[in-house]
Structure 1
Amino acid sequence: MSNMTASAFAEEIGVRLKQARLNRDLTQSEVAVLSGVARKTVLNAEKGKVQLEILIAIMMALDLTDQIDRFLPKQEISPLQLAKLQGKKRQRASGQRRDADEETPEW
């Protein structure tokens, strides 16, 4: 699958959604009701044309959410990214301090 285009990959996910629905002996209408979307939306999802939130709703309806960790494992923060997130430590301002007897400007 690594040499597939994004469109082909989306279509493959749609095919797999359809097969999961058929394996559970559910119609598109039943999945639509369970996921809170229109039947046409389920049809489009099975063609690989679906928004992420709707895909998740359909996966929940098909009881596929336990597969998420296989599909997209939780990512740990790399040491490099952690260092970037911490940012620069605050440093003391550079420059000379004024003497107390120095004239202050009149505003």
Structure 2
Amino acid sequence: MHHLVMYRAPSGALVFGAGTVQWSWGLDNFHDEVTGGNNMLENEYDTRVGVDLAGPEPAVQQATANVLADMGVQPAVLGWGLVRPSASTDVEPPVVDAVEA
């Protein structure tokens, strides 16, 4: 299970939290051993110890570009296969119904 949060603060700032430092692992392929093992056990001196042969995750790359576009930032160059996003025009806050499980 993973949790993300994104909302517009009363100041107008867009707040985004991925809930983990591993969000960035979907952006490139240099972060872990291909064994999938604990990288601190693989190499206690360098946690970025190898290239993940699974490569980056295009959905995470596109989601990052989309969030940055909503913040008014566009990359100079996009990765292969990514679509240049435009900022969202949605101004309606989400509605959530909590249901007891």
Question: Same-fold call, TM > 0.5?
Answer: no
| Larger strand share, 1 or 2 | 2
TM-score (norm 1): 0.23
Query: Comparing both chains, which one has the higher relative contact order based on Cα–Cα distances under 8 Å and sequence gaps of 6 or more?
Result: 1
Select the structure of larger CA radius of gyration.
Answer: 1
Report which of the two has the higher share of helix.
1
